[in-house]
Amino acid sequence: MIACSCEVCTSTDKKDNRLRSSILVQSATTTLVVDSGPDFRYQMLRQKIKSLDAILFTHPHKDHLAGLDDTRAFNFFTKKPMELYADSMTEEAIRREFYYAFSSTKYPGLPELNFNTITLEPFMVGDIEVTPIQVWHLKMPVLGFRFGKFTYITDANRIEENEKDKIKGSEVLVLNALRKQKHISHFSLEEAIDLSQELKVPTSYFTHISHQLGCHGDIENELPDGIHLAYDGLELNFS
């Protein structure tokens, strides 16, 4: 966190050095990212991502879409617009916050963006099947996404029973866990552990972690079997 000198923010453990939450999902032929937060540009540079087919959005909060302008680098190389998959609430926010990209007078260097409106119906991005899962971020509906055996959920504090069914059977679940103290719109560490165990997912990784949670090494040691803290650059492979 900017201007903070707590033990997490001054830690020399790379796993305590966290950028905004996002994941990249890749098959043999398709690459997509979930959310383009303020760190999107640096994340793409750091991971040396040379091609990106689509961006899926969970919800319209700024820490999940502020980096969208930098998709223009991909536009430059592919000469194609970036395909965005968002529900109508998030599309409206993107059209408002990046209004210049949608104006009738185009000038060079604008990001080129093409919306694909999604609902709770499964959809395909290239050869990747995506199942949206609706979760609640206080009063805001947020989309989680299931890709085969892998489910990614961020910015939730509640999931309804019928949507929990969509997660069951996943081999790996990524779930948000902000800190130990309760929070109004994010799962706490204990709530995230309880939910992972309730859903009987063999392996869970927690993300969207605040510096208030404590150092990675300390918390990792306290977690039950099969539950871990995610960290920037973590890679998972599925056959």
What is the binding site for Zn ion (CB under 5 A)? 61, 63, 155
Q: Closest approach of Cβ 155 to Zn ion, in Å?
A: 4
Q: Closest approach of Cβ 74 to Zn ion, in Å?
A: 23
Give the nearer residue to Zn ion in terms of CB position, either 93 or 219. 93
Give the nearer residue to Zn ion in terms of CB position, either 61 or 166. 61
Q: Closest approach of Cβ 30 to Zn ion, in Å?
A: 25
Q: Please spell the DSSP secondary structure of 52-90, one letter per residue.
A: --EEE-S---HHHHTTGGGGHHHHHHHSSPEEEEE-HHH
Q: Look up residue 192 and give its amino acid.
A: A
Query: Closest-CB residue for Zn ion?
Result: 61
Give the nearer residue to Zn ion in terms of CB position, either 71 or 154. 154
Give the nearer residue to Zn ion in terms of CB position, either 98 or 136. 136
How far is 67 from 40, CA to CA, in rounded Å?
Answer: 5
Total Cβ atoms within 10 A of residue 52: 21
Q: Closest approach of Cβ 185 to Zn ion, in Å?
A: 7
Give the nearer residue to Zn ion in terms of CB position, either 66 or 128. 66
Q: In degrees to the nearest 10, what's the CA dihedral of 41, 44, 48, 54?
A: -130
Give the nearer residue to Zn ion in terms of CB position, either 35 or 69. 35
Q: Closest approach of Cβ 10 to Zn ion, in Å?
A: 23
How far is 87 from 118, CA to CA, in rounded Å?
Answer: 5
Q: Are 153 and 230 in contact (CB under 8 A)?
A: no
Q: Closest approach of Cβ 56 to Zn ion, in Å?
A: 15
> Which burial class, exposed, middle or buried, applies to 128 when counting CB atoms under 10 A from its CB (0-12, 13-18, 19+)?
buried
Which run of H or of E encompasses 198? helix 189-198
| 102 phi, psi to nearest 5 deg | -115, 10
